[in-house]
Structure formats: C-alpha cells, structure tokens
Chains A and B, each alone.
Chain A
Amino acid sequence: MKLRHLLLATAAVAAFTGTAQAENVLKWGANRDIGSLDPYSFGDSFTINVLNHVYEGLVRYNKDLKIEPALAESWEILEDQITWRFKLREGVTFHNGNPFTAEDVVASLTRVSHETSPLKGNLPAYVSSKVVDELTVDITLNGTYPLLLNDLTNIHIFDNEWMTENDALMPTDVGAGTEGYATYNANGTGPFIVESRQPDAKTVFVVNPDWWDEPQHNLDKIELTPVNSAATRVAALLSGEISFTNDAPVQDLPRLVAAPNVEVLEGVDLRTVMIGFPFRDTLTTGEANPFVEKSVREALYKAIDLDLIHQKVMRGKSRNAGATIAPPIPGYTEALDTLPEFDPEASKALLAEAGVAEGLEFEFNCLSDGLVNEEQFCQAIASMWSRIGLSPKLDVAPRAVQSPKRTNGKTDVYTLGWATLPLLDSYSPLLQIFHSKDGNAGVFNWGGWSYPELDALIDAAGSELDLEARLALQTEALGIVKDEMIMIPLHQQPMAWAVTEDVADMPLFPDAKPRLWFAQMGSDS
C-alpha cells in the first residue's frame, strides 16, 4: 500500500514537472465517476466504456461500429460448431511490460465468467477456454451461438501474471474477502495508461507510447473529472476548465451553442427508455397487483403524453419510440414502431373496467443519475398518472441505491434504458430483459414476467446461425413484447456532447460511448 502511494506520488511529481512543454490534455467532465478501475466489477456501460481506453478485448468496434480484430488477429469456428479458435496478435505488451499471451486470455475469461462476476451475463454462451499454443486460444460454447464476437468486444483482457501476483484472479468480492487490487490499479494493453485515480475526484490517463496499434488520436493525457451538477458542468465548459463533456444538459444547449468557444455535438442515442411493470402477486404496499392485467398496463401507457414529454422535458431532442429498440438495431421493423394514442379518458375507462380502485398507490422507481432528464420525465409521468386517478409514489435515488431494490423486486413500476450494448443487436434486450429469469437469461427481467412462447422464440434465435432467419425470429419476439406491453417504450433519448475550441475532432457514436482514441486536439501551436 505504501509503495503504491510512493509510486503515485513520484509519478505525479514527474507529471507535474513535465507539464512545462505543450501537451494535449483532454479534460473530460463526465456526469459521474467510473465505479472502479476493474471493468469486471460493475455491469455498467460507462465504467466499461472508460476502461476500454486502458483495457482491450479480442475484437473491437471500429469507427463505423463494425467489428474488427484487436488483440486477436483472426478466428475460425472449428468443426464441432461450438468451439472458436482465436489467433492472437504478436508483440503486444501490457502496460507493465509483460507480453500478451494465450494464458492471459484464458485467465481473463475465467475471471469474467466466474460465478461471482457481475459481468457473467455479458458472456452468456461461454463454457470453457484453453491454451492451444502461446498465441492460440480455443473457446468452447454451450451451443451454436451467432453473437460471440459482439460479446467479446467488451470482455477486457487482463494480464495473468499481474493478477496472480496481486491476488486478483477472482472477481473482486468484498464479501468473500477477495482483495480488490484491480479496483484501484489497472494494467491493460490499451492506448492509455492509468496514471492516478482519486475516486469521485479525478482519474488521469496518459498515452501509452508502446501501444501495438497506430494511434489515430493526438492526446497526451486525459483527465476524467466527475462533475455531477449539470449547471457546474456547463460553467466549467464555458470557462474552459473542462474541454469535453459527454453529457451536455439538454436544457442548456442553446446557451452552449451560442457560446463562441464551445461546439455542441448532437445525435439520437440508441438507448431506448422504457417503463417496466411488476408481475408479482402483490405490490410493495401489500395490495393485490393489478399490473398483471394487460388492460391496466395499457391504461398507464395511454395516459402518457409522449409528445408533451418530447417537447417540454426533452426539448424536442428525443425521438418518440413505439418499439423497444432503436431503428438502426438489427431486428427493428417499422411495424413495431407505431406510437400509442394519448387518451386519458380511455385510460380511466380501462382502469374502471379492470376494477382498479381510485387512488391506487404504487412505487415508481427512478434514478437520479441515470437517463437523460430522468428525474424530470418521471415527475411528469407521475403527474400524468395522478390525473387518471392513481397515486404513484415517486422514488428517485442514485443507481447504487435503486439497483438492489429493482433486482430484488422490492419496488413496483420502474424505468430502464437499454442501448443493446455491447451486442448492438435486438437479441440483447430479448435475452437480458424479456426472457424469463433463468441462469444468464432475464437478468434484467426485474418485473418477473414469463411468456413461454416468447422464451421459445428467443432460444431459437440464440442458436440460429443464419442472420435473416435469426432476425425474423427476433422481430416476431419483439412483436409479442409490444402486443403484451410487457414494458412500454417512451423514447430514444437525445445525446449531446460538447467540446471547447481546444478539441479539433471528437467523433460522435450512436451508442453514446466516447472513444477518445479517435479524438484530435487542435494544437497547431
């Protein structure tokens, strides 16, 4: 522990004296901090995204979000159809100088798929892996599975030797007394090296001079600072204290656009915002649960004025959604995307018909650090539901507080945003959200529903290697989700990034992930 501090201190002093010459330092003001330096310790897109600058997978998405080789150079499916053979890249080293070998891949896959790993759902078909030779690995799956490469884009590879030395071979588990060395130390192969980290304050990354790939960026350093308050983020951007944010508050966009030193990058996120219902017998109040009735779910759906939310809360920047996936996601069809009719009178009638008592109380669980303007649209929806005679109890808190309630069924109605990451395919929400809870399936099925015909379609898609046939199955399954209103989609949320004039090029990705290894700073001087 002491040694670590000493090292950090010397590194920081060295970095300080080194700031004399012009450096391209990208100051990134995010809306929250990463949960840990260990990409396996939180099943959280943002943490994994940031750590992707340090750690890499066997394959990766390129600038067009197509899969390309990364730590693996090539791959093939062996004759048994369930074993994949990966040829690894030669001459790659970890940040500590250790060479990258097949042992590292096996150790990493073992760690991520371990029983206590929060990320094991991201590698659902994995059974085992073995070293063939120093640069060849075989991965065995539980059946034919079309989406292994998509999964592997986000499975970061650790150094086996480093993990062994530091007792980090198992996923961090405070409960099991497994020490969390990897939660505050990092050693990957990626384009950036973690220089220092103070949780909730600042994490500094410096460029990796020995990266195996040709850098397409010109950054020397990234300083990631969480700035929770939207207003402070805007102030910091305007005054140049940060040079980039991946969450420019939509209500402040006019001001940022008008500022001479700031450029706003806008797009629509792939993330679809949905509302989920409980399917248990009783509500948290102990009352009988009326949401098991489709007509009650429909009543709540029809009471939401999507246009109003689009216009007022999302400031016209969102895209109203009828489907639970965004249009670019494979499996989408226009037929899935029809919008409901806003009709509170019909809602009241439906509720009366279903015998729902006036003033029915239920919890409405939202995150304070989740989706774009989540607190505001939750309040607006709660108000719309009160107007059809219900009494939603709004419960807004940070993700870390709400997650246990949601996963343990200790709440009623809830919000969920799903971007189909990392697969970028509609199989992702079908397996993880809409499938019945069963092993790796239905991990996010917080309402606890079960539709056997839906499960059958999803399972069939999961072993279908033909793309067309698979997508047809998935579209059919999504049709059931829509008809049954298992979850009701609201919108694809807006994505707004902002950079100051120091930044010359910052490619915007529809999955809302900053990939700073493509960023250019404008240092003509």
Chain B
Amino acid sequence: MEKTLPVPARTTLRNRLDKLRESDVWYSFRSHPSAIFAAGLLILVALTAFLAPWITPQNPYDLAALELWNSEIPPIWNEARQWPYILGTDTQGRDILSAVLYGSRISLIIGFASVLLALCVGLALGLMAGYFGGWIDNVIMRVGDVLLSMPFILIAILITAIASASLPTGLKDILAAPILIFAIAVPSWVQYARTVRASAMVEAKKEYVQAAKLIRVKSWRIMLQHILPNCMTPIMVAATLNFGLAILSEATLSFLGVGMPPDQPSLGTLIRIGNQYLFSGLWWIVVFPSIQLCLIVLSVNMIGDWLRDALNPKLR
C-alpha cells in the first residue's frame, strides 16, 4: 500500500503535502469513523449552505419576500403545517430552513475568512519577526503580547461595538460581515505568528541564510521553503480548531447583539431572536438554528481533534 518516495533534498511544500496524503494520516482518517462522520457532515452542511440560493424556497434577506401572513407556521410534521415551510417560519414569515441555510453560509464564510486572514497576517508577521529580529521582532511580539493580555471575546466585542457606533446605518449593513471577520481575526493571528517565528529564528541562524544575507541574495524563498513545512503541522491543527472557535465567536457576538443585524441573520442572530419566543410555543425558531450551529462546530472540532492526534506521534 505505502509507496516509498525518494526523499527530496529540499522538502517543498508540495512534496510535503503529497507525503501527507500518502502517509498514515490518510490511513488514520479512514480508520476513524468519527472523523469520517464529521467530514461528511461538514461537507453536507457546506454544500447545502452554499447552494442555499438555489435550493431554499425563500431568500430570507429579501424584505419584500417576507409575508407576514405566513408567520409562525410550525414545522411540517405539525398539524398547522404549510408547504414549503419544512421547518416552519418565524414571527416575520421568514422560512426557518432558508434562514438556517443562509445563516450557516454567513457563519462558515465569516469563520473561514477570519481564520484565513489571521493565518496570512500571522505567517507574514511571524516570518518577519523571526527573520529580521531586532526591533521589528520586538514591536511585533510586544503587540502580540498586548493582544494576548486581553481576553479574546473582549477585543472582538470592542471592535464590533466601536465600528457599529461610528458607522452610518447604510454602511453598517454592508460592512457587518467584514467587521466581524476583522474583529475575530485581530486577536488570533498572534498564535500563528509565534509558531512561525520560533521556526524562523532557528532557521535564520543557519549558515545558508547567513550566507545568503552576506551576499545579499534574497533569502525569502529559501526561508519560506524551509520554514513553512516545518511548522505546517501545528499550524494546520491550530487553524482547524480556530475555525470552530471563530464560528462560535461569530455566533456569540451576534447573540449579544453586536454581530450580524436582524435583516441578514447569522445563526447567532437567529438564536437571539428566537430566544424571545422561548415560552410562546414557537420553539422551532430557536431550536433549529441552535442544532445547526452545534453540528457545524462539533464536526469542525472532531476533525481538528482527530488531526491533532493523527499528527502527534506521541499520542498514537
């Protein structure tokens, strides 16, 4: 089954990934039913979320599509059901299934984008800090220290709160998602930066870099090719787990009322709205978005957990 590849003198990123695919990580994945289940679930959620505009009966963000006459219809297995509202409707006549799928899309996009942003910023700053050292390193790492000395959720709330207090209403609607992405990314790049910096510091002391510096050759490429593969494993694990965390953070912010506005609800916003009707017999408004949110985060975390165990030889 396992092919023995000739180990190249320089492990490039691509080779490394190839090796990963051929290695026992893939085997470990296939032999972990929970990982397969989680991956399947996540793919299903992502597919339905991104196909939402084509498969849902309603665009829940289009105010003109909401019909108050059709409000508070219970799910389809109930007597008062009404097609096509499979999971019922909320108090504005918004189809819950459509809202959940559109909401999942927002949650996934915000989660993914914020991790990506934090990853890019973290890698770049970490490399710079490790490579240049000196005052650049100092500044970057001290900024990181400061960010880490404030609780994650607090920074995110402050950023969104200040943004929404200082932006006009029209702009606020358009920028709601980018602000959230930014707010969640800001406190989380430090972790990546620290990891990369440590590798970069080790690498920067090596002779070839010193030599490259001496003869003023751009050693960036060499650096990248050597450092990134070395710290890819912890970074991938961290990024996966942070993806789950980012989705949770977005939901929390929206639940607290500083996230997505009620006319373009994410899962957290839907839960916040539904929470008001907990005792009115309209349980479906709060229950379905909650289930969806938990499923998404659960599957991401299961993949992250598996990845960590699979890549950590000590625990195998």
Contact = CB atoms under 8 A, between A and B. Distances in A.
Interface of A: 229-231, 234-235, 238, 249, 251-252, 254-255, 284-285, 305, 308-309, 312-313, 361, 363, 375-376, 379-380, 382-383, 386-387, 392-396, 401, 411
Given A312-B71, A379-B263, A386-B64, A231 B277 contact: yes
Interface stretch (B79-87, B116-124, B167-175, B194-202): B167-175
A396 B276 contact: no
Nearest to A394: B263
When A and B form their complex, which 6 residue pairs have the shortest distance between CB atoms, in order from nearest? A386-B63, A386-B64, A231-B278, A251-B280, A395-B169, A234-B279
A396 B68 CA distance: 19
B69 A312 contact: yes
Given A308-B69, A312-B68, A363-B170, A379 B92 contact: yes
B270 to A, nearest CB: 14
B262 A375 contact: yes
Interface in B248-302: 261-263, 275-282
Nearest to B282: A251
B36 interface: no
A229 B275 contact: yes
B245 interface: no
Interface string B140-174: 00000000000000000000000001001110010
Interface of B is mostly: loop
Nearest to A230: B276
Contacts of B275: 229, 231
Contact of B170 (A251, A312, A361): A361
Interface in B50-74: 62-64, 66, 68-69, 71-72
Interface of A is mostly: helix
Contact of A252 (B72, B173, B279): B279
A252 B91 CA distance: 13
B170 A229 contact: no
Given A251-B280, A285-B170, A386-B63, 4 more contacts: A231-B276, A284-B168, A312-B68, A387-B64
Contacts of A285: 170
A229 B271 CA distance: 13
Contact of B279 (A235, A284, A313, A386): A235
A229 B168 CA distance: 27
Nearest to B277: A251
B163 to A, nearest CB: 14
Given A308-B69, A379-B92, A383-B92, A363 B276 contact: no
Contacts of A363: 169-170
B262 A393 contact: no
Interface string B26-64: 000000000000000000000000000000000000111
A308 B277 CA distance: 20
A255 B281 contact: yes
Interface in B212-239: none
A238 to B, nearest CB: 8
Contacts of A361: 170
Contacts of A251: 91, 276-277, 280, 282
Contact of A376 (B62, B92, B170, B173): B92
A133 B63 CA distance: 65
A252 B263 contact: no
B64 to A, nearest CB: 4
20 contacts: A231-B276, A231-B279, A235-B278, A235-B279, A251-B276, A252-B280, A254-B280, A255-B281, A308-B69, A312-B68, A312-B71, A312-B72, A312-B91, A313-B91, A376-B92, A379-B263, A393-B170, A394-B263, A395-B169, A401-B165
A308 B68 contact: yes
Given A376-B92, A393-B170, A383 B64 contact: yes
A251 B277 CA distance: 8
Contacts of A231: 275-279
B276 to A, nearest CB: 5
B276 A380 contact: no
Nearest to A391: B63
Contact of B63 (A313, A375, A376, A383): A383
Contacts of B170: 284-285, 361, 363, 393
Interface in B165-189: 165, 168-170, 173
Nearest to A253: B280
Given A313-B68, A386-B63, A395-B169, A379 B280 contact: no
Contacts of A375: 262
Contacts of B63: 379, 382-383, 386, 392
B312 to A, nearest CB: 43
A309 B168 CA distance: 29
Nearest to B69: A308
A387 B277 CA distance: 27
A380 B92 CA distance: 7
A364 to B, nearest CB: 9
A408 B151 CA distance: 37
A196 B279 CA distance: 32
A396 B279 CA distance: 23
Contacts of A254: 280-281
A308 B69 CA distance: 7
- Most chain-A Cβ atoms within 10 A of its Cβ — which of B62, B69, B92, B277? B92
A393 B92 CA distance: 16
A229 B263 contact: no
Nearest to A373: B91
